Structure formats: C-alpha cells, structure tokens
Amino acid sequence: MDVFPLPVARIGIIGGGQLGRMLAKAAKRLGCTCVVLDPTPGSPAGQVAGHQIVGAYHDPAKLRELAESCDVTTFDIEDIDTATLLQLEREGHRVLPSPRVLALIQDKLTQKQALAEAGIPTAPFIPMPEPSPEAFAAHGYPLVQKARRGGYDGRGVSIMKTPEDYGRHLPLPSLLERFIPAEKELAVVVARGLDGDCRCYPVVEMRFRPGENVLDLLLAPARITPETAEAAARLAVRTVEVLGGIGIFGVEMFLTEDGGLLVNEVAPRTHNSGHHTIEANVTDQFEQHLRAVVGLPLGATDQLSPAAMINLLGAPGHRGRPVIKGMAEALAIPGVCLHLYGKAATAPFRKMGHVTVLDPDIEMAERKAMRVRDLIEISGEDHP
C-alpha cells in the first residue's frame, strides 16, 4: 500500500480560476493538499490541485462537502453563497477570510458604507436602488454607476460623462459615485495573519486601457513619491484592519490630482495587482495568503527587482480552444516570465494568462512588457 506523508494542512479553494491555480501551486510547495470547488471540470485550479468537486459556488451541499474535507476553506472569487459559509463557520469549520467580511465586500454598497463609516476616504456616493434619469441628474455628471453585486473586471461599472450617456446605465440595484479624475490608480496588497500581524507589499501602479476596465499594465513599485507610498500603505493597512479580514486583500486606490488618496474598492482575496510577487518578491501573495489562513508566520514582502506585468487576454472575435502565437519570441526576451492558466476555451478579453517582466530598470521592464503584448496573441479554434 502507498504511504503518503500527512499534509501540513488540507486547503479547500472555492473557485477554480487562475487565482486558485496559483494558490494551489503555493500550497503544494508548502506541503499542503488542495481540493477545488468549481462548476467546470478540469478547471485551471483543479488541474493543479489534482482533486476537484464539480459544483456551483451557490450549492450548499457542495460547499459543505468541500469544508468537511478540508482543514481550512478559502476562495478565489467573491460571488459565493455566504449564508452557507456562515453556517459552516458556526459549526466550527474554518473559513477564511471570514464569510462576514466576504458578505460585506461582495455588495459594493455595504462595502462603501463600511469604509465611509470608518472614516476611510472614498469617492462620494449615494445608493441607487432604481435607476432613473432624474435621480442620475440630481447626483450630477460625470458619474460612475456600479452594480451592487456580481461585477468583476469592470463588468458591473458604467462611466457616464453627460446626461446623454444615460442610455449606458445598468438597470440594476446599484450605487452612484462621483467620477474621480485620477492622476494614477494604485493598489496595495495587504496580508493579515491570524494573530493580527499585517504586512503590505510595495505600492503598485495600474494602467487601464480606456473603454476596457481590465488591467492593462502594472508597474511595481509605483512611480510615486516616498510620502505617497507611505500614505498609501498606511491607508491600505487601516482599510483591512477596519474590515477585520484574515488573508490577502487587494486595496485599489485613486491618487487624485491634488495628491490625495481615495480607496476605490477592496478585494477579499489574492489580487491581479500582486501577480508579479511570484517572481519579484521574497514571499509571493499566494504563499502569503496560505500562511495567513493556515496560521503560519507571514513572510517578508520585500521586492527583489522592479517588475512590469501585463494580462494576456483572449483576442476579440475568437472563441474555443486557445491557439497561442508568439510564445517563443516572447520567451526569448530576458526577464520574461510567462504564465498560462490552462483554460479550456478562450473568449474575447478573457484573462488567459499573464506575463511578468523583471528588469533592474523599470522603464525597460515596461518596454519589454509592451513588446510581449504585441508578440503574443491568444486566438481560438472557433472564429466567425
């Protein structure tokens, strides 16, 4: 009979996407085993974990099966049935970050209200339960409408400059925010351990392509003054402490034209703005998350090299099995670290992978990342 060593911990991961995949890799390195819950068989995280429960994130029986087979349950997505998670937590299952924090964050309105009540600076906002042209006009343009639930990668966000843009509104329970003309968008990945120890990664700078809300380019560290970096780190830590979360949190911010900082939103999970930490930092965000939820000491967050990161998105007009072009040319560039997520099918703008470029000169890292973006194309076997 085969004899396997006892795992350090059995980790349950709700969500089988790229974040879960990178978490599972970190978990295996630390001698943990993983089970993934995802509706798609052979999900990116399921492939690495080696064990997947095929089921929905809203299926109470499947969530229970996962929690019962693991020492700690965590997640790589936000759209989960929190009522079941709360019940499992009451029964003594360890679910981290806490389902209470997830429930608060998963509704963008309650998230903003909690931040505002704690005195965390955010864009001014009002609840918008039933959108109407009059209510939008009363709030004033330019404005940003956000769906309370279910949005990601900018899909639940609509930016409207004038009343003529009202046609683009989301017919959903939502909130309206003042449009912030930001100088830069920043993000801070924060880890909080079971003992309350809090560590953050150096502040990064995010660039978005106009019209598409998916992160286009990330630069780490951000090109900002040391004072701004310090203030952003302090604000991010305070935000996570206010929410009381355990694990990794991504805190997105606006740096305003007058040098102020506003928290845009918080993600209760590993974050796109921390992918470069796999190669660029002493402890990457995935291992750090694992250390936090298992109750191990947090690792050093020091950055060892400047880095630029781009997402590899599915080409517009393509679906089906991914066809990757330009990979060899990209890998020939020194400092290029390629990650492909093993998704069975591509779709327009779907996150299929990412590339981190390390270079002692951050401007050179940026140029190389732009070159890689031109070189790599992910199309699909089915096209129109």
Ligand X SMILES: Nc1ncnc2c1ncn2[C@@H]1O[C@H](COP(=O)(O)OP(=O)(O)OP(=O)(O)O)[C@@H](O)[C@H]1O
| Residues engaged in binding Mg ion (CB under 5 A) | 252
List the one residue out of 179, 184, 209, 158 whose CA is nearest residue 261. 184
Query: Which of 41, 118, 152, 348 is in the footprint of ligand X by CB under 6 A?
Result: 152
Q: Among Mg ion, ligand X, none, what does residue 355 contact (CB within 5–8 Å per kind)?
A: none
Stretch touching ligand X by CB under 6 A, among 10-18, 84-92, 154-162, 327-335: 154-162
Q: Among ligand X, Mg ion, none, what does residue 151 contact (CB within 5–8 Å per kind)?
A: ligand X
Nearer to ligand X, 52 or 82 (CB): 82
Task: Spell out the alpha helix ranges (H) of 91-225.
Answer: 99-106, 108-117, 133-139
End-to-end C-alpha distance for the chain, whole angstroms? 53
Nearer to Mg ion, 81 or 252 (CB): 252
Nearer to ligand X, 94 or 269 (CB): 269
185 interacts with ligand X by CB under 6 A: yes
Beta bridge partner(s), residue 349: none
| Structure tokens belonging to residue 208 | 């978005």
Query: Which of 59, 79, 153, 241 is in the footprint of ligand X by CB under 6 A?
Result: 153
Restricting to residues 219-278, which ones interact with ligand X according to CB under 6 A?
252, 264-265
Cα(328)–Cα(375) distance, integer angstroms: 9
180 interacts with ligand X by CB under 6 A: yes
Query: Which of 46, 151, 193, 274 is in the footprint of ligand X by CB under 6 A?
Result: 151
Do residues 312 and 277 make contact, with C-beta atoms less than 8 angstroms apart?
no
Q: Among ligand X, Mg ion, none, what does residue 29 contact (CB within 5–8 Å per kind)?
A: none
Within 13 A of 242's CA, how many CA atoms are on the CB side? 22
Restricting to residues 349-368, which ones interact with ligand X according to CB under 6 A?
none
| Structure tokens belonging to residue 351 | 């996150």
Nearer to Mg ion, 107 or 252 (CB): 252
Residue least distant from ligand X (Cβ)? 180
What's 202-266 look like in SS3? CCEEEEECCCCCCEEEEEECCCCCHHHHHHHHHHHHHHHHHHCCCEEEEEEEEEECCCCEEEEEE
List interacting residues with ligand X (CB under 6 A): 123, 144, 146, 151-157, 177, 179-180, 185, 208, 213, 252, 264-265
